[in-house]
Structure 1
Amino acid sequence: MTRDYSEIKSKLRGSVTPVITPFKSNHDIDYEKLAQLIEFQLENGTHGISVTGTSGEPSSLTVEEREQVMEKAIQTINGRVPFVPGTGSTNHQETMRLTKKAEELGADAAMVIVPYYNKPNQQALYKHFKTVADAVDIPIIIYNIPGRTAQNLHVDTLAQLSNDCPNIIGVKESNKDFEHVNRVLLKCGRDFLLFSGIELLCYPMLTIGGVGSVCATANIEPRKVAQLHDAWFAGDVETAQNLHYELMELNDVLFKDTNPAPVKAALGMMGKIEPVLRLPMDLPSETLQKEIRQTLDKYGIGLQHV
């Protein structure tokens, strides 16, 4: 008997923040800061939490660390909002292990990225995602980000997966091809969950039938990102549009270097974390950090003075 996923599909809406993984100065994971970051999100109206996605530097974490981050996150959230950890990897067996762990922990869904570096063809991508989906009962949201993975999950492949795997319920599209994004809902059905993974497309994706976003800017300005979605779902188009444009300058500066480096620099300026990344990632240039600080100040975001 096929499980009914309608209840969780109705809950997965709005701003699902991809929380960064905070490190101490010695590069160990700072689990206390992780809990504080999640509380900061929930206090500001965020509708859901994700960890160990792109913003969480998953390729810089061991599998065991990813499991521990998921455990800390779900304990902190304690059922207050949906939890959708990133469980994908370039390694199929790691993806299987992490997705099963998310199910074991009681996550509401798992976000599984198109494998990066390998560049599998469409048949291989179908087999990869179907094997993962068939091995668990947890809902799956596929994460398509061609700029990071060097491979685009075709709409027809996604549609076949959504048809063949009842627990594949949605997709996070970090895809600048807006024609592709439109065809996702045409081919997969209007009840398929479409999330934006590109900040400037959060609002446009809502207008074509998307249900929300999973965007790094929400780490810095969670309230306004959540309010944009709240306004749209309340039918207040003008407010949603205004917030879309109001957030644009912040979105732009946070992506002038590879995510999550600018976001971590900004959170450091806000006194939320030690601004530390693990190599091969590192902080942005001093010039960009100055621009980030100026932008945060312009937005009235509280900064620590150094």
Structure 2
Amino acid sequence: MPFTDSGEVDFIGFDRLLGHLIASGVHGLTLFGIASEFHKLTDVEKQELAERFVARTKASDVFSMISVTDHSLEVAVKRAKHYEKLGADCLMVLPPYFLNPPIRAVKEHILAVLAAVNIPVLIQYAPAETKVGIAVEELVAIYDQFPRAMFKIEANPPIDYISQLLARRPEATVLVGYAGLYMLEVLDIGGKGVMPGCSFAEIYLSIYHDYVAGKPEARQNHKRLLNYITRWMQDCEYIIQVEKTVLRKRGIIDGDYCRRPSYPLSNEDEESIMEFLRQFTLPCKYNK
């Protein structure tokens, strides 16, 4: 989410970022994921961003997904209906986690969002970030009731969990997040794709296409990428700041401000980012 140096949403930068990502060849874009700093946005800002997001993606071949992050079931249902009416191709739902609700309430929340709309809904399972654990059997039960449910698994590591889910429902659509740390392992066991951040999407695309083509470069380049993202994914605020700084250095957005609380980068981080840009030959307009 681009912000000005004073902390205001940079809507022009947002539009420019969307244009860059659409031109890069990504298959889909998601708004209001954790990397979007959804928890630091006002409702007024979210409304304008959602309208811009849908308008821009509708004019392209890119699949649009908007995340429903409200903790109240009633509000989440209203939000889901609104985003569907707005024109989103799909929704993502972040299960409620504030004050540690019981699994019964979490499951009820997810099912209510699915029942409220007719478009696919991606269930985001991020136990490290939300501190909410959901057993595989619970996701299977949700899928059996709503086969248009899809899953984004961000457990760390996710392989055992995804393997159990796909063993029970091999036809289910399962994606992996977590900056793509386990991208190739998940594809190996039947996952359908990766949902990383957006500052170096071209690298993920290249790895994905090489993987589909059976080229060894997929694993070679993913291994090179791991040298950086393994460190950056130690903290969500850390990689959000890194990704935003990468976007600024590439000249895609004007500033790398993160609304506070945020994760200030060290000189070592800045040097690592420059090394990363050079190693993957990503265009860089600014060295500072």
Question: What is the one-letter code of the residue matched to 1:40?
Answer: H
Aligned to 2:41: 61
Asked if 1:43 corresponds to 2:43, the answer is: no
Aligned to 1:260: 240
Aligned to 1:158: 139
Structure 2: gaps of 5 or more residues: none
Cα gap change, 1:301 to 1:204, in 2 (>3 Å): same
Cα gap change, 1:177 to 1:76, in 2 (>3 Å): closer
5 Å-filtered alignment, 1:178-257, equals 178-187=159-168, 189-198=169-178, 199-216=180-197, 219-234=198-213, 236-257=214-235
Superposed CA deviations along residues 168-189 of structure 1, whole A, max 9, x for unmatched, are 2x100011242111111122x2
Structure 2 CA distance for aligned equivalents of residues 283 and 43 of structure 1: 30
Structure 2 CA distance for aligned equivalents of residues 260 and 97 of structure 1: 29
Structure 2 CA distance for aligned equivalents of residues 46 and 293 of structure 1: 24
TM-score, length-scaled by structure 1: 0.85
Superposed CA deviations along residues 77-131 of structure 1, whole A, max 9, x for unmatched, are 2241111122223333342233222201221110111223332222111111111
> How far off its partner does 1:55 sit?
0.7
> How far off its partner does 1:167 sit?
3.2
> How far off its partner does 1:269 sit?
2.0
5 Å-filtered alignment, 1:83-232, equals 83-168=64-149, 170-175=150-155, 176-187=157-168, 189-198=169-178, 199-216=180-197, 219-232=198-211
> How far off its partner does 1:240 sit?
2.4
Q: How many residues align?
A: 281
Aligned to 1:31: 11
Cα gap change, 1:295 to 1:230, in 2 (>3 Å): closer
SS of equivalent to 2:32: coil
Structure 2 CA distance for aligned equivalents of residues 85 and 133 of structure 1: 14
SS of equivalent to 1:86: strand
Structure 2 CA distance for aligned equivalents of residues 123 and 134 of structure 1: 16
Structure 2 CA distance for aligned equivalents of residues 64 and 162 of structure 1: 33
Structure 1: gaps of 5 or more residues: 1-20
Cα gap change, 1:204 to 1:237, in 2 (>3 Å): farther
Structure 2 CA distance for aligned equivalents of residues 230 and 242 of structure 1: 13
Percent identity between the two aligned chains: 22
Aligned-pair RMSD on alpha carbons?
Answer: 1.9
Does the CA contact (< 8 Å) of 1:144 and 1:171 recur in 2? yes
Question: What is the one-letter code of the residue matched to 1:226?
Answer: L
Structure 2 CA distance for aligned equivalents of residues 120 and 279 of structure 1: 26
